[in-house]
Amino acid sequence: MSVSNQSGDGGAGSPESSQSSVLLWLISGSVFFGASFQIGTPLIQSKYDPGPSFISMVLGIILLVGGGGIWVARFIAKKLRRANSSNQRPIKMIGLVLSYIASIPFIGFHIATLVFGIASMNILRVSPKLSCIATAVLMLVVHLVFVEMFGIQLPKFSLLEYFRA
Amino acid sequence: MIELLEAIPSLFSLQILVPWLLAMVFGIFVGSTPGLTATMAVALIVPFSYSLEKEAALAMVIGVSFTAIFAGDIPATFLRIPGTPASAAATLDAHELAKKGQGRQALLVNLLCSALGGVGGVILLMYISPALAKVAVGFGAFDYFWLCLLGLILGVSVSSGRRPTLGLLAASLGFAFAMIGRDPLTNQERFTFGLSSLEEGVRFIPAMIGLFGMSEVFRAVGNMERRRPDRIKAGPFRIIRSLGLVLRHFPTFIQSLLTGTIVGALPGAGADVAAWGAYGISEKTSPKESGNFGKGEWKGVIAPTSANNAAVASAWIPALVFGIPGDAVTAIVLGVFLVYDITPGVELFSSGQGSFIFAIALVTQLLLIPAGLIGIQFFSQLVRLPRGMVLTSVVVFSVVGAFAMHNSMVDVWVMLAFGLLGLRLENAKVPLAPLILGMILGPKVEVYLRQGLIAANGDVSEIVASSVSMVLAGVFILTVILTMSRQLVRKER
């Protein structure tokens, strides 16, 4: 958990990561504050109810003020700098997970998992033979638990469905 | 009490014990699977219970309802994926202990606290049901508003450590995410941007799996290249030492038991609020160890795990006395009671059925220990597998877990989005726990505030009109002042 590696920067985040953090607060604050004006007033709303947009406006302001405050504090301290990461492995993994999820509706859960399992373990330095065995076991466990036991219909290979039809 | 002692021996027959224990192992299994919740575990066991005798059926359903909360702590400890929302508070310290090679020890302490917390909760349930139920029913909307706001600020204060400002922002962001979808009071769409898939809102379970599970996978993958990865070790399995740890922190246990019981008795508050509240109170009342919270502090394991199981027991107070279920799990159990002609109310206690239910609930806590040991041992073997295999399995289970809730790929995308958000926030040293806390408690804060204002005809002064509200508001303000002053003192140093 992040709380485990806290340095004492007094609550404004560490310098190496402050820019992305500040942008996150400012962007999310702007989106929620701006979009709260798009929320209409329902006909059934009580005249004493502050309405569905009230809290979101407050939250938007908190995020904007908080993000702005951190930015100003960092700017004054001239600590603002871009987070740098030369580590490629998480990027590969994120790409792989992204492709995996995107492919599930088209090639089905089982085929997508087979490809993902072997590729992911390969990236994570598991031997190819062990990757194949582990992926097969993983798929079997998922199938038994979710499909057989709980009757959850995992996405199927849509082309197969097409041919069946 | 005599009726209770008379009821216990009747439970020890094979026809009851076998399905009971099997149901509890099932509860452990479901609760420890990411994406499958305690509510789902109870709901799934109900059809099996119909084919059994009334006693066995009740034992099964009650058994699962108490087991699944502990089970949620198992993946929370080893994989940092809370199996249930009530396990999120325990994740903070238990996972840190697992990183230090004390995963099994942490779970053993957790198991003992869960069982003892459950026993304490059931005993308190028996004795103080009527009085507490009256207090809980007397709570108004503003009282609940302050209670939820206090739970939120306590959780933010504790889980943010030295960064309360960032914690507050993370909680606000979580709160804002929870507002996506339909307004609970007027059904007005908010932040859906015309997308029908967002009308249902951002579902909590996929968000939690992504924030804690997926972000941990991405972070662990990064660590594999940069330095020695955070390898989770199951560690030793010492029952006597665990018992010693619980006894050493007995005041924390009692304090959390009482917190859990009181919070659980309030309809709608639930085990998650109880766990966070107990965690926060434990940190505030332990000035010597407060700096260790979130870094593998035993009190950080004992407090939430004692409180969440005690809350499960006390959630039955309004359910058994007034027929008002405190949470979804209790609602299902109450439904099963009605199937077997067990009607909540005074008659329940005068007819002796109450004693029978208490007896089942009490023995369930004892059976939780063998069932929990099976779960701990099973998971301990899993974490010995190569890291790459475990991480890949976590991704696959996270994807299936997110999908399984509503058979929706949108939930899977939500899970991934929260995973990436979690990674970004962790890189920025922003604590994740307040974000999830904002998602859980935020909507309750909003609903109770607006309901209270409507009921008070817009009179804002009514917000602290009742004595309960005044006390809760006072504690809330005190917590804010203490948290901010602590930050200022640290800055000056």
Average pLDDT, chain A: 79
Given a cut of 80, is residue A61 above it in pLDDT?
yes
Give pLDDT, residue B131. Answer: 66
- How do B181-182 and B189-190 pair as beta strands? antiparallel
Same structural domain, A127 and A159: yes
Of B162, B172, B193, the CB nearest to A11: B162
Give the distance from residue A160's alpha carbon to the nearest chain B alpha carbon, in angstroms: 19
B159-163, B190-194, B227-231, B299-303: least confident range: B227-231
Residue of B nearest to A124 (CA): B388
Residue of B107, B115, B88, B110 whose CA lies nearest to B380: B107
Question: Phi/psi at A39 (nearest 5 deg)?
Answer: -75, 125
Distance of alpha carbon B29 from the chain centroid: 17
Residue of B nearest to A133 (CA): B389
Of B217, B428, B433, the CB nearest to A21: B428
Give pLDDT, residue A97. Answer: 93
Average pLDDT over residues B29-56: 74
A146–B404 C-beta distance less than 8 A: yes
pLDDT tier at A17, thresholds 50, 70, 90: low
Domain total of chain A? 2
* Contact in structure between A131 and A118 (CB atoms under 8 Å): yes
B31-35, B331-335, B409-413, B441-445: least confident range: B31-35
End position of a domain, from candidates A35, A55, A77:
A77
Given a cut of 70, is residue B324 above it in pLDDT?
no
Same structural domain, A100 and A48: no
pLDDT single digits (tens) B325-347 = 656 677 778 778 877 888 776 66
Using the structure block, give the residue that is written with the tokens 């004054």: A76
Give pLDDT, residue A5. Answer: 37
B1-15, B62-76, B110-124, B420-434: least confident range: B1-15
Q: Which of B45, B152, B169, B195 to mutate to test the interface with A (most CBs of A within 10 A)?
A: B169
End position of a domain, from candidates A25, A44, A77:
A77
Same structural domain, A57 and A100: no
- Spell out the alpha helix ranges (H) of B383-432: 387-406, 409-427
Give the distance from residue A27's alpha carbon to the nearest chain B alpha carbon, in angstroms: 11
pLDDT single digits (tens) B92-121 = 888 888 888 888 888 888 888 888 888 888
Give pLDDT, residue B211. Answer: 82
Sorted by where each begins, the domain ranges of chain B are 2-492
pLDDT tier at A1, thresholds 50, 70, 90: very low
Given a cut of 70, is residue B349 above it in pLDDT?
no
* Contact in structure between B361 and B66 (CB atoms under 8 Å): yes
Give pLDDT, residue A4. Answer: 37
Give pLDDT, residue B420. Answer: 92
B457–A48 C-beta distance less than 8 A: yes
Query: B331 exposed, middle or buried (CB, 10 Å; 0-12, 13-18, 19+)?
Result: middle
Give pLDDT, residue B346. Answer: 62
Residue of A nearest to B190 (CA): A39
Given a cut of 60, is residue B148 above it in pLDDT?
yes
CA distance A131 to B222: 20
Q: In this structure, is residue A3 part of a structural domain?
A: no
Residue of B nearest to A94 (CA): B218
Average pLDDT over residues B410-419: 91
A51: alpha, beta or left, given left = phi > 0 and alpha = psi -120 to 50?
Answer: left
pLDDT tier at A118, thresholds 50, 70, 90: very high
CA distance B378 to B211: 25
Give pLDDT, residue A3. Answer: 34
Give pLDDT, residue A2. Answer: 35
Give pLDDT, residue B241. Answer: 83
Query: A48 exposed, middle or buried (CB, 10 Å; 0-12, 13-18, 19+)?
Result: middle
Same structural domain, A28 and A54: yes
Same structural domain, A153 and A114: yes
A132 neighbourhood in chain B, CB within 8 Å: none
Residue of A nearest to B427 (CA): A17
Chain A, chain B: beta-carbon pairs less than 8 Å apart? 249
Using the structure block, give the residue that is written with the tokens 């004390």: B102
Most confident of B287-296, B337-346, B394-403: B394-403
A153 neighbourhood in chain B, CB within 8 Å: 407
B404 neighbourhood in chain A, CB within 8 Å: 146, 150, 152
Residues of the domain holding A129: 89-164
pLDDT single digits (tens) A77-107 = 765 555 455 556 678 888 999 999 999 988 8
DSSP B182: E
Give the distance from residue B420's alpha carbon to the nearest chain A alpha carbon, in angstroms: 8
Distance of alpha carbon B151 from the chain centroid: 13
Give pLDDT, residue B6. Answer: 74
A13–B430 C-beta distance less than 8 A: yes
Average pLDDT over residues B161-171: 82
**Distance set, CA B293 to CA A4, B83, B103, B116 (Å):** 8, 21, 16, 22
B186–A42 C-beta distance less than 8 A: yes
Give the distance from residue B213's alpha carbon to the nearest chain A alpha carbon, in angstroms: 11
Who's near B147: CB < 8 A, 6+ residues apart?
B139, B263, B266, B269, B273, B472
A60-74, B51-65, B223-237: least confident range: B223-237
B43-57, B58-72, B183-197: least confident range: B43-57
Same structural domain, A28 and A53: yes
Given a cut of 80, is residue B453 above it in pLDDT?
yes
B164 neighbourhood in chain A, CB within 8 Å: 11
Average pLDDT over residues B243-272: 82
Residue of B353, B351, B354 whose CA lies nearest to B317: B354
Given a cut of 80, is residue B443 above it in pLDDT?
yes
Residue of B305, B303, B298, B290 whose CA lies nearest to B256: B303
pLDDT tier at B417, thresholds 50, 70, 90: very high
Given a cut of 90, is residue B223 above it in pLDDT?
no
* Contact in structure between B298 and B96 (CB atoms under 8 Å): no
Same structural domain, A61 and A123: no
Q: In this structure, is residue A5 part of a structural domain?
A: no
Give pLDDT, residue B413. Answer: 92
Tokens of B121: 């909760």
Average pLDDT, chain B: 81
B460 neighbourhood in chain A, CB within 8 Å: none
Which carries the bigger pLDDT value, residue A9 or residue A47?
A: A47
End position of a domain, from candidates A57, A77, A97:
A77
A109 neighbourhood in chain B, CB within 8 Å: 400
Given a cut of 80, is residue B365 above it in pLDDT?
yes
Given a cut of 70, is residue B395 above it in pLDDT?
yes
Tokens of B252: 């924390």
B224 neighbourhood in chain A, CB within 8 Å: 89, 124-125
B169–A104 C-beta distance less than 8 A: no
Of B399, B407, B420, the CB nearest to A94: B420
Average pLDDT over residues B281-301: 82
Q: In this structure, is residue A50 part of a structural domain?
A: yes
pLDDT tier at B235, thresholds 50, 70, 90: low
A130 neighbourhood in chain B, CB within 8 Å: 386, 389
Task: Give the SS3 label for residue B190.
Answer: strand
Give the distance from residue A163's alpha carbon to the nearest chain B alpha carbon, in angstroms: 23
Q: In this structure, is residue A83 part of a structural domain?
A: no
A14-23, A60-69, B32-41, B341-350: least confident range: A14-23
What sign does the CA torsion over B450, B454, B456, B458 have?
A: positive
Which carries the bigger pLDDT value, residue B420 or residue B287?
A: B420
Give pLDDT, residue B271. Answer: 79
Average pLDDT over residues B145-165: 77
* Contact in structure between B445 and B209 (CB atoms under 8 Å): no
Question: Phi/psi at B189 (nearest 5 deg)?
Answer: -70, 140
Give the distance from residue A52's alpha carbon to the nearest chain B alpha carbon, in angstroms: 6
B430 neighbourhood in chain A, CB within 8 Å: 2, 13, 21
Q: In this structure, is residue A4 part of a structural domain?
A: no
